[in-house]
Structure 1
């Protein structure tokens, strides 16, 4: 194979610059700038859509739903009479300027108790509408809301005569009148959402549109069907499906205008918030850049040709040294360093960075001992792109192990002995978790948190928990003076797995009710007990005994939770004692 010396390559490079039209160079640079601008614009669009989504949800949940829940709770008081309930509705309406009516409906009755905002009622009268008939929520609509499980969810429509957008909200009552169910309904004027869109700073240079599942613009005086726009067509099926997959999109409008857009979905409204900006406005700065590129390119060619011949030889030696160190690092020798390069230029900087990189790679190799296998796997999947915050839904089995008697023990011995004992406990547990195909997510004090995925995850997790209990009992159970034992909780189900935290300090972990359930079961487990939820129990193979215990009350759960005690075929009395 022919080898080209570095000086020759520099000369050929300068010659190519002289031959290749500067227009081509400029085009490449402009494309790079265009991509960077697109990235910035996309981030801006995503931020605008996400910000408005957050404002929509915040307004609905904090400004309307929460106060209405308070009013509902007051009206639901069985000690109040009808007159007192009506008075409470009237007072509540006065405190909520966006709520134009409150209604108390009795099942089977066509005459509801309705109080309305006087100002809004006057507006309706001015356009020839009956305020009571217009604002009343029919029994058919309430029945439809109940049948579709939409209690607490807004149904949005426009009042064509006034142009106002109203949300209908229904909340079921616990109390009854003459054995009939009661329902609290409210009509909310959404002008606050309209102001959020109209007054957003982005509206001065771009376009913000809110569309519903049919592709119709909403929260505007004159709605239009916008389904022919590509971004609206992409968002429509996601609104219907109830998905919340925010996205960016480049597309052309029917009139040929090239656009960049992003959409986001409020949690409480069947809408998509779309932020759009034309590519012409987004890339206006590129035209100015092209003029400057031609001038700078000509000057750069002269400097490159001269520098290629003069300095190439001085660059060869340091580059070869850097290459040898790079090869050593590739082979796993992180102690290798670039020596003897003292030039105060980019090559010198590169040599210093290579030395820093080698040292940091060695440090990171050690840091890998402090993170879970799932974390390392997630980082490797990024292929150098860097971790981004976010999560994915996974079906897992969670195992929590906690040392009983640890607090009292830690107060009676030295910190050094505490660390020694904890390390021995965790060493035994870690080996067992790894042997059963689990992944340790973290150690928190005296608690271990492990995750199992894949086939037979439930069976492997329970066998792991039983083996941990037996191994620790064999190693530490006889040390009665320390009174240390272990309690284990195991639960299976869906979790959210991903990177969470700040941009510069993240934790790759799991969240969800399954994690909470496993932790609660762990806290309920007595010394040397392994408690398992029903979903896990149903998938455990033969070889283990799982006894159903009386359901236990757990923090955060309205009803007692079924629980099972897992142990091997031969169990001691300690292992099957009741839950504390």
Structure 2
């Protein structure tokens, strides 16, 4: 970690004045935090366990037990079907939050059903069919029976109303027409939601109820909260059906330190999570700490004034040198260290820095005249570059500007250079975008090399994009009337440093390079010609259409060479 010299003087002076007070204050703060954390943890676990018990009590005492009584009454042999339906309707009127009850007969799609009128009107107002929404499907009852979940709630949410619904089923011993009958009920869980919202703890902390997928429940909007560490700890216990309540201290993704606890209701596949930020838990301690810091700041200010005055005189030149170095790091090689005239180590350092900046600027300009491949070879050469080469499999593209000779004869040389720079700038950017390396510029031609995975596909896409970009330049500069033809070939080349010992060129040589150049020479304006090796490897590319062309005779080849044309799919469709 960087520690400025000026701050070193500053810290040394202030430590003597502030250290004793800081030690005493720290001990007092730690003791207070420990006490408050113990109280907060107890509060968190109590609230979580309390809500867990209220959930279970509400479900079992308010809904399950009365429904069991209704089930037993309906199961009586002394009641006929109309009386059982009446008992179903009466039970629905008496049970709070139960919005529907039905008798589902196995093999029948027409259940005997009673619905809560108020809830049904809410659904109708939203354009929903209450019977369709509230009916418990036969396949769901079958699933409950197969998994042995009779009496346990299955939780769902009606998106249109935001209502949370518990579905439970109870089997009957009595049969209708010899078929199994099941009592099913839908329960609206707004009372559980109110328990959470109205709990006094919610005024200073946060209560969240999550399901086994890490989503919030009993809220109007369901959110995924897997980014919370305590949720990740609780999820495996929900899935496993464990009921091990626990405490946890952790940091939220936004950097907030939190104390948390969780508990698990017996009747719901949920976890009740209670959370309290450390800032709220330690509010009293924070107030004490602020008072200690105010007193310490006064001593700190007095002790530091003298140290800062002396440190400023000593470190000023160093800071100026640092600012200049930072500017150089950002690419400003015109910056120089000025106003450091002391005849000491700092004066010598400023002179050396100025010399270094000048030499770096010269080297940066030289880098613009060599390829990235050359720079990489120099970096990896160790003690120095040696002549020689290695075999590599690459894809090579040649681009050549059509109409350049006529253009150069009819316009001023300055315009020719400007046009070449414009065209080469666009081509170079596209090559770099496709992870290629511009090997060299030869007059109005560009040579680029692609290595590594998917090199053939990248070379083809690059060439097609260059053709499209050249069309845009033609629209921008119609008077130039310049087009580009491109040749692409893939295969082995010799890559390395070649030339004299005092003047070398890092480039690629071989039949693959020659083939790319020959194809480029045969390409029509706005055409990309590729060889068979490139075509074979560059298949199934989105946005590119490849056409098989007639084999063409090329210089240096005894037989006509199979050739393919590549173009953008949009251009192919337009044609």
Output the TM-score relative to the length of structure 2. 0.47
Q: Which has the larger radius of gyration?
A: 2
Output the TM-score relative to the length of structure 1. 0.47
